[in-house]
């Protein structure tokens, strides 16, 4: 997959609610390879930052510029929420849906759905109602439903929150495979072990501001700000 989205250039971007700045101003440039992991204490604005970059949160100041027109950029992105949104349909119908709305023929969509169900270990559950799946199974379905449309970029908000070790490992394997295939990933996590396992680069967010943006190895070995050093030590940041 050759991305047409990047570089992503963010300049002075802010989003607000009821007059309060939730995130920003953010100045940032992201390139088109790898897995960016967004970390920071609870309430730092991680989810809001993802939503702002994706276009789901209103931009009140600054600019977010892709390497292509914004509307075109949004058509090749997907967003996977912390609590997966399941259509009240079967697993197979959940996977078929994003293809059908893009005009894929029903037979082809069904074949792709079965292929993706097998890739994520849901091939024995095609006829099961999606809302009846376990949390880990729903997250795998949400990922497969996002990936089946072959997006250039996927945002993921705490994709393994509340999952057990086995489910987390399975989700991380899917993410590694997607990244290796060329899909750009930007995800938030509160799990520092996961951040170290997945990240090619890190954004450290505190009080709505990006305090550090660095390659993962540099960030974890030699964080540059006292806030980042304290966060990695497990200190309570105020």
Q: What would the mean pLDDT of 33-37 be, rounded to a whole number?
A: 95
pLDDT of 4: 82
Number of domains forming the structure of the chain: 1
Domain span holding position 149 = 32-56+69-86+133-233
- Per-residue pLDDT of 187-211, as tens digits, reads 999 999 999 999 999 999 999 999 9
Of 1-15, 36-50, 78-92, 134-148, which range is least confident?
Answer: 1-15
Neighbours of 82 (CB within 10 A): 14
SS3 at position 185: strand
pLDDT of 55: 93
Tell me the two tokens of residue 3: 């991305």
pLDDT of 152: 94
Best CA proximity match to 24, nearest among 55, 65, 59 = 59
Q: How large a percentage of the chain has pLDDT more than 90?
A: 82
Q: What would the mean pLDDT of 156-181 be, rounded to a whole number?
A: 90
Kindly report the CATH number assigned to the domain that includes residue 158: 3.40.50.300
Q: What is each CA distance from 57 to 48, 52, 233, in whole angstroms?
A: 7, 5, 32
In which region does residue 96 sit, left (phi positive, over 0), alpha (psi from -120 to 50) or beta (all else)?
alpha
- The verdict on residue 117 lying in a domain is no
pLDDT of 3: 52
pLDDT of 220: 97
168 has pLDDT over 60: yes
- The verdict on residue 27 lying in a domain is no
- The verdict on residue 213 lying in a domain is yes
- The verdict on residue 146 lying in a domain is yes
216 backbone dihedrals φ, ψ, rounded to 5°? -55, -45
- The verdict on residue 165 lying in a domain is yes
- The verdict on residue 204 lying in a domain is yes
- The verdict on residue 150 lying in a domain is yes
15 has pLDDT over 70: yes
Q: What is each CA distance from 226 to 11, 223, 230, 237, in whole angstroms?
A: 24, 8, 6, 10
Global confidence as pTM: 0.93
**Whole-number average pLDDT of the chain:** 93
- The verdict on residue 103 lying in a domain is no
pLDDT of 2: 45
Q: What would the mean pLDDT of 205-228 be, rounded to a whole number?
A: 96
Q: What is each CA distance from 123 to 51, 98, 137, 141, 171, in whole angstroms?
A: 31, 18, 11, 11, 16
CB-side exposure of 195: number of CA atoms within 13 Å?
22
pLDDT of 83: 85
pLDDT of 161: 85
């Amino acid at each position: 997959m050759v991305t047409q989205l990047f570089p992503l250039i963010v300049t002075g971007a802010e989003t607000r609610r009821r007059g309060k700045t939730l995130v920003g101003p953010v100045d940032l440039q992201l390139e088109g390879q790898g897995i960016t992991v967004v970390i920071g204490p609870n309430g730092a604005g991680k989810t809001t930052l993802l939503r702002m970059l994706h276009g789901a949160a209103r931009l009140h100041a600054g600019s977010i510029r892709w390497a292509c027109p914004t509307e075109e950029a949004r058509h090749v992105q997907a967003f996977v929420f912390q609590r997966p949104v399941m259509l009240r349909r079967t697993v197979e119908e959940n996977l078929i849906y994003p293809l059908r709305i893009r005009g894929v023929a029903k037979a082809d969509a069904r074949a792709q759905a079965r292929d993706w169900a097998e890739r994520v270990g849901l091939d024995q559950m095609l006829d099961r109602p999606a809302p009846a799946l376990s949390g880990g199974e729903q997250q795998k379905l949400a990922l497969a439903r996002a990936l089946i449309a072959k997006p250039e970029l996927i945002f993921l908000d705490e994709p393994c929150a509340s999952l057990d070790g086995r489910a987390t490992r399975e989700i991380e394997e899917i993410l590694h495979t997607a990244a290796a295939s060329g899909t750009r990933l930007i995800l938030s996590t509160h799990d520092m072990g996961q951040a170290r396992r997945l990240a090619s680069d890190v954004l450290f967010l505190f009080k709505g501001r990006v305090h550090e943006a660095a390659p993962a190895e540099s960030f974890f070995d030699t964080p540059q700000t006292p806030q980042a050093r304290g966060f990695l030590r497990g200190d309570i940041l105020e």
